[in-house]
Amino acid sequence: MADHPHFHPLGQPPSAHTAAAQQAARLLLPFEDERDFDEARRGRVATPRDRRILAADGKVVWDIGSYDFLLDGQDFDSIHPSLQRQAILNMEYGLYEVLPDRIYQVRGFDLANITFVRGDTGWIVFDPLTMTETAAAALALVTEHLGERPVVAVVYSHSHADHWGGVRGIVDEADVRSGAVPVIAPTGFLEHAVAENVYAGNAMNRRMTYQYGTLLHRCPFGHVDQAIGKAVANGTPGLIAPTVSIGEPIEERTVDGVRMVFQNTPGTEAPVEMNTWFPDWKAFWAAENIVATVHNIYTLRGALVRDALEWSRQINKALYLFGQDAEVMFSAHTWPRWGNDRIQEIMRTQRDAYANLNNAVLHLANQGVTISEIHNVYQPPVSLQRQWAARSYHGSVEHNARAVINRLLGYWDGNPATLMPLSPADSAPLYVELMGGADPILARGQTLIDDGQYLHAVEILNKLVYAEPGNVAAKRLLADAFEQIGYQKESPSVRNSFLAAALELRSGLPDGTFPKSTGPDIIRAVSTAQFLDLLGIRLDPKRAESASFVINLISPDVDEQFVVELANGTLTSLEGHLADNPDLTITINRSDIEQAMTGAVPLQQQVADGTAQLDGDASVLMTLAGMLVHFDPTFEIMPGTERPAAAVDDDPFTQEPLADSAGG
């Protein structure tokens, strides 16, 4: 395989041990069950002539053709066979009929699906993808083959960006604001759509390059799939705020003649999410709560740990509310299922997978198995392991099991030695010294790799790399171990993380564009309270340690008031209050704050032209600006790569407050 045309010269081919592990998986898993392939291909209406989607400037936003190596009919030992199967299923590209003359999906244009529901006069669009360009291309394909019809409503199923970022590609904001096109979402959508990415957004963006493999080559030895879709598109995200909120647990509405029953499912795959039942058609939209994989309880890019038991409970509720009658079930990712028996099979499988994950892990935890051990102990029942709908592609058994314990018991395993451990850079030299230095570690690491004991090799080589970040031989050997582990993993999130780390150990942070899921629309959606919270995070406590001041912030156009205090190296804010004797009062409309937040009109310029009015000590604002740090998304993850120095912004209102992150 080393001479494969897609092989990256810095990497290593799969070892004999990896090839053996892949062959064992081929023998154990139910590859004879090909119903998923029939369902994924069913209802194909049209496949676009062009396998790429371009931006207006000619930039490639989407290129499913870059994964055509998966269609060669070859079994790759560098890809877990179950993952390769999922990756081939996700190569379905084009327009598909879900329910004759009523429901259609465009799949393979982005990480998610976009769904078109035919109403009396136009299309009701569910989840308009991540990017403007991919959503517009999907609508153009629908128009070409199904005729021109207006978009009369948009539904956001939940708060992750791959389900709303392309909205401007299908609808004009003026029509939304006029009331002609309602945008429907669960209550709390806007808050959660931006909040998840605000406070730790820069760290999430960096970690996303590992989970989503955004800088990996697309080849059998690099990025092959993302389980819930091929990959994240690289275009222009947008956001139009919802105009209709669904707040009741079960709420029925009729839109353009189509009856829809919304089931709110908060605290499942997203903090706010909703399924939809079409009672007249016996069609069930499962949002991202039921897709062709067991999902993330903990997502590796970083997010709040999810509740596996609540997820299972909401699937069970949907099963008994709608699943008894459903004849088609379709989702925001992967492919639909048809026939009531098949739908109930999938719903029960996923219900039981999440419930078992929660219950069996806690069963073990209550017998003393710790977060440091659970991933090596817990396994789903064999009956679930033999069902494709219970395979952990987007999630993984290992990191989801740890997440269940972390949610209820926290990160500590109960051993005081692990409560406040040394940092790796401090502990590693001690281990290296005790192991006799670098040479015996390298020799033993090579022996372990030769024997296929890759995790054992990682255990010692990782210590050496932290102790000696400049040791090129150690980094390359650790990369070799990471790479083989990555090849063997079924979950693309885990695979990508190991392969991305291997690439960086060998060559540093690779060139490439970080995908964007934010832009001016999303930034404007950040509340003033969230923006002030972010300033508190960006504040360098050391620079602020000896300073103190009080600022009143007043936005007359939205009747907002905030008191902002700096004390003890900490910036705090409180909505609805003003200080009696502030050092500075800033009066500025919220709409003008947004201009500063997006960088369109810097705050300094607004002060100069009178748009923003200052009363008091104007130097306080510049003092604050000098204490803020600009977060760079290229910070070091693996030791031994150059870490860029942090920069300081000139104006606290010009740094875009959101980092980029996809859903999941």
The average confidence (pLDDT) of the chain is 92
CATH 3.60.15.30-classified regions of the chain: 16-247+375-407
With vertex at residue 375, the alpha carbon angle to CA 303 and CA 372, rounded to the nearest 5 degrees, is 85
Q: What is the pLDDT of residue 199?
A: 76
How confident is the model over 610-614, as a mean pLDDT?
95
Q: What is the pLDDT of residue 96?
A: 98
How confident is the model over 35-56, as a mean pLDDT?
97
| pLDDT band at 651; cut points 50, 70, 90 | very low
Q: What is the pLDDT of residue 660?
A: 47
Residue with more model confidence, 90 or 510: 90
3-state secondary structure of 390: helix
How many percent of the chain have pLDDT more than 70?
94
Q: What is the pLDDT of residue 634?
A: 80
| pLDDT band at 374; cut points 50, 70, 90 | very high
| pLDDT band at 632; cut points 50, 70, 90 | confident
Q: Above 60 in pLDDT, residue 561?
A: yes
Q: What is the pLDDT of residue 537?
A: 87
Q: CB atoms < 10 A from the CB of 57, how many? A: 5
Distance CA 617, CA 543 (A): 19
pLDDT tens-digit map of 55-106:
999 999 999 999 999 999 999 999 999 999 999 999 999 999 999 999 999 9
Q: What is the pLDDT of residue 659?
A: 40
Asked whether the beta carbons of 124 and 258 are under 8 A apart, the reply is: yes
Q: What is the pLDDT of residue 423?
A: 94
Q: What is the pLDDT of residue 6?
A: 53
How many percent of the chain have pLDDT more than 90?
82
Sign of the Cα pseudo-torsion (437, 439, 440, 444, in order): positive
Q: What is the pLDDT of residue 195?
A: 79
pLDDT tens-digit map of 445-454:
999 999 999 9
With vertex at residue 326, the alpha carbon angle to CA 324 and CA 332, rounded to the nearest 5 degrees, is 125
Angle, helices 528-538/189-198, rounded to nearest 10 degrees: 10
Asked whether the beta carbons of 653 and 621 are under 8 A apart, the reply is: no
3-state secondary structure of 329: strand
Q: What is the pLDDT of residue 497?
A: 95
pLDDT tens-digit map of 151-169:
999 999 999 999 999 999 9
Q: Above 60 in pLDDT, residue 653?
A: no
| pLDDT band at 664; cut points 50, 70, 90 | confident
The residue count of the chain comes to: 664
| pLDDT band at 203; cut points 50, 70, 90 | confident
CATH 3.30.1050.10-classified regions of the chain: 527-648
Q: What is the pLDDT of residue 648?
A: 40
| pLDDT band at 10; cut points 50, 70, 90 | low
Q: What is the pLDDT of residue 319?
A: 97
| pLDDT band at 642; cut points 50, 70, 90 | low
Q: For residue 181, list its beta bridge partners.
A: none
pLDDT tens-digit map of 292-332:
999 999 999 988 899 999 999 999 999 999 999 999 999 99
- Provide long-range contacts, Cβ within 8 A and 24+ apart, for 36-41: 36/89, 36/292, 36/335, 36/388, 37/89, 39/335, 39/336, 39/337, 39/338, 40/89, 40/92, 40/334, 40/335, 41/92
Residue 187: C-alpha distances to residues 122, 132, 237, 242, 382 (Å): 25, 24, 22, 9, 39
How confident is the model over 485-496, as a mean pLDDT?
96
Q: Which of 1-10, 497-506, 597-606, 620-629 has the lowest mean pLDDT?
A: 1-10
What is the DSSP annotation of 566-585?
A: EETTEEEEEET---SS-SEE
CATH fourth-level superfamily of 527-648 = SCP2 sterol-binding domain (3.30.1050.10)
Class of the CATH-defined domain 16-247+375-407 = alpha beta
Q: Above 70 in pLDDT, residue 644?
A: no
Q: Which of 127-141, 295-309, 512-526 has the lowest mean pLDDT?
A: 512-526
Q: What is the pLDDT of residue 599?
A: 80
Phi-psi region of 254 (alpha: psi -120 to 50; beta: other; left: phi over 0): beta
Q: Above 90 in pLDDT, residue 410?
A: yes
Q: What is the pLDDT of residue 518?
A: 62
pLDDT tens-digit map of 260-285:
999 999 999 999 999 999 999 999 99
Q: Above 90 in pLDDT, residue 50?
A: yes
How confident is the model over 386-405, as a mean pLDDT?
95
